[in-house]
């Protein structure tokens, strides 16, 4: 039972997240042979004031 977590900066629409989950599910199904019904995709939004690559918050760029 594959579990896939995708973390993205906030701002994607629900439509985009649905499309992403569908494509990730298809890729995992084709690559691993796992049945679609057993694949779990988590899409997590990262707030721009909670992510600081190189020590600089994205909201400050």
Tell me whether residue 2 is one of the annotated catalytic residues: yes
Pick the catalytic residue: 2, 4, 34, 43?
A: 2
The answer to whether 49 touches 10, Cβ cutoff 8 Å, is no
Closest by CA to 42, choosing from 25, 60, 56, 26, is: 25
**What is the set of active-site residues?**
2
């Amino acid at each position: 039972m594959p579990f896939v977590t995708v973390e993205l900066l906030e701002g994607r629409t629900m439509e985009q997240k649905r499309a992403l989950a569908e494509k990730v599910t298809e890729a995992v199904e084709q690559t691993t042979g796992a049945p679609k019904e057993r694949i779990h995709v988590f899409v997590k939004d990262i707030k721009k004031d909670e992510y600081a690559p190189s020590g600089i918050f994205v909201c400050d760029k």
